[in-house]
Structure 1
Amino acid sequence: MASSSSAVKVVIRTRPTASFAQDYIKVGESPQQLSVKIPKSDNPNAQDSWSWKFDAVLHNASQETVYLEQVQPIVQQVLRGFNGTIMCYGQTGAGKTFTQTGSIDSYQNRGLTPRAIAEVFHYFNDMPQYDATVSVSYLEIHNDSLIDLLSTLPTESPTTEPLSVFEDKKGQTEVKNQRVVQVTSEEEALALLFEGTTNRT
């Protein structure tokens, strides 16, 4: 996670669960520390505990808390003209998709992306003096291959050309032949998010 004060922030979110492995994982010794302890092996000299310090550790945090504390500042910086990226990393089943997109059936549990979309449109709706264009693209990387998750949408100029990554004259990384859809409302953007999500591998 990037912000104006540091290039990269690393934040740990534990998966909310009623059966947390408290015998092995300790959270809260400091607001930024996570410790892991496992039973001793047959080797008495083997290491059995580890401790790491991160920018933040969010234990049993709600979607709203994650967004307000870690993502909203980045969205606000983007609206001021800075670049910002949110990346979720973890093993299968860790909760990355839930964190990013949330639950379709629960507005309270909507993810970081729907919340960010809402904030962007609220910002420009409150600032009519700004002439802004919002566009949406949705890509997946699967087995080192790029997949355009919006390629199923109808278009006036369909292409069968493969996706390719390149750097433009300004040094910005772009993806050639991806679908980029201009949207004018939060509802349109969310529809594309849900369309792309259903096309994920």
Structure 2
Amino acid sequence: MRKKYYNMVENMKGKIRVFCRIRPLNRAEATQGGAIVVEKMDEYSVNLETPRGQREFQFDKVFNAETTQEEIFQDTNRLIQSAIDGYNVCIFAYGQTGSGKTFTMVGDKEQKNPGIMPRAFNAIFDIIQENSTKFDFKVSVYMLELYNDRLQDLFASLAGEAQSHGQSRRVEIKRNRKGVVFAQGAETKEASSAQELYALFQQACANRHISATKMNVESSRSHLIVGIMVESRNLTNGSVSCGKLSLVDLAGSERAAKTGAKNHQLKEANSINKALSALGDVISALSSELPHVPYRNSKLTQIMQDSLGGNAKTLMIVNISPSECNIDETLTSLIYATRVKSITNNAQRNLESKEIAQLKEVIMKLRSGQTVEDEEI
């Protein structure tokens, strides 16, 4: 009970929430016969058996190998409602390569066990349908990958823009007056249903960089960032709220000696590790409440600036292996996640009055050369 109420208080204070997910042993680990060194103690605690003794870590929720995708999503579902209510929301997965991040966020190939992303698509439109008589909604999305320190628009790749122009469209990370990050130059597509949104997602993911390593048959070689904007207009008073849901599947940290990465894979691994190291520096600075936070050291930290130490409701899911052969990486991930848990955000709703919303419409009309009636001003 003490842990439960402690976590409730932490959540009210604006702390970033952190879940820990322990995946099952994979075939390689089972074949090696390595001992299981990770144990879920209770709903909030995980125990790691290290050569120097036991270490206990506490998080907002701990899930073991038997936990289903549905159960994971049940504990993240309320954040989808927050995004529709006009909040900036971020859900991201972290962990070593092969720890199950993409399974948690995306699911399996056949979608027999869909992850947080496809489930979130359904939840958004379920909520929209429930509130269709009170609000008018507009859903738009951009999808990016950070590959070898370059931010690439996965929708631009769809249109063959990269091939026809010799290079992909330049995407720049910007922040608006409220501190919300957006991708300038990235193509944004509208979606009117969960099926349409998932179809866009599948097409974009087909362009994502993956390859096989010794640690993972389909290792993500890039960081995937999905940004879903939900604009809602209150049909009663005309007020407009704009929420953003950022879903991030980070590539895994890795050691070349274990993954067998060579040549271009080694370059990819170095780029991945460099970005994750920069993310670690930002987390360390925020958790220590240092006056300077080095967001500009990486495009990854720039695009996640409003999610870490910003105005977002943020959830991190740290994915870990239970096997003794991955003990060093597991310990590093758990320490990393503990630092994230100590960061405080100030979540604010992006809401505009009816008058401001009307003025914006007038400005848009004037910019496009349309005439404006006196009663509109």
Indicate the TM-score class for this superposition, using the shorter chain for normalisation: 0.7 to 0.9
Q: Which residue of 1 aligns with 2:40?
A: 27
Q: CA deviation at 1:193?
A: 0.9
Residue from 11, 16, 21 that aligns with 2:19: 11
Answer yes or no: is 1:59 the counterpart of 2:59: no
Distance between the aligned counterparts of 1:176 and 1:59, measured in 2? Answer: 40
Q: Which residue of 2 aligns with 1:191?
A: 199
Cα deviation code 1:11-36 (max 9, x no counterpart): 100113475976422212x3211111
Residue from 93, 96, 105 that aligns with 1:100: 105
Larger Rg: 2
Could you say if the C-alpha distance between residues 161 and 140 of structure 1 is closer, same or farther in structure 2, counting changes exceeding 3 Å? closer
* RCO comparison, higher one (Cα < 8 Å, 6+): 2
Distance between the aligned counterparts of 1:26 and 1:154, measured in 2? Answer: 47
Q: Specify the code of the residue in structure 2 equivalent to 1:10.
A: V
Q: How does 1:38-187 map to 2 (within 5 A)?
A: 38-39=50-51, 47-60=52-65, 61-69=67-75, 71-107=76-112, 109-129=113-133, 130-154=135-159, 160-187=168-195
User: Is the CA contact 2:146–2:152 (under 8 Å) kept in the aligned structure 1?
Assistant: yes
Distance between the aligned counterparts of 2:181 and 2:85, measured in 1? Answer: 20
Q: TM-score, normalised by structure 2?
A: 0.46
Q: Which runs of 5+ in 2 are unaligned?
A: 1-9, 210-377
Partner of 1:146, secondary structure, is strand
Structure 1 or 2: more strand by fraction: 2
Distance between the aligned counterparts of 2:146 and 2:23, measured in 1? Answer: 24
Q: Specify the code of the residue in structure 1 equivalent to 2:128.
A: F
Q: Which runs of 5+ in 1 are unaligned?
A: 40-46
Q: 113-122 or 141-150, which moves further after superposition? A: 141-150
Partner of 1:35, secondary structure, is strand
Q: Which residue of 1 aligns with 2:261?
A: none
Cα deviation code 1:28-58 (max 9, x no counterpart): 2x3211111134xxxxxxx233211111110
Distance between the aligned counterparts of 1:167 and 1:8, measured in 2? Answer: 21
Percentage identity across aligned positions? 28
Distance between the aligned counterparts of 1:38 and 1:168, measured in 2? Answer: 45
User: Is the CA contact 1:4–1:77 (under 8 Å) kept in the aligned structure 2?
Assistant: no
Q: Which residue of 1 aligns with 2:312?
A: none
Q: TM-score, normalised by structure 1?
A: 0.83
Structure 1 or 2: more helix by fraction: 2
Cα deviation code 1:152-175 (max 9, x no counterpart): 23399x985411111223332111
Q: Specify the code of the residue in structure 2 equivalent to 1:118.
A: N
Could you say if the C-alpha distance between residues 166 and 172 of structure 1 is closer, same or farther in structure 2, counting changes exceeding 3 Å? same
Q: 130-139 or 120-129, which moves further after superposition? A: 120-129
User: Is the CA contact 1:72–1:116 (under 8 Å) kept in the aligned structure 2?
Assistant: yes
User: Is the CA contact 2:80–2:120 (under 8 Å) kept in the aligned structure 1?
Assistant: yes
Q: Specify the code of the residue in structure 1 equivalent to 2:70.
A: E
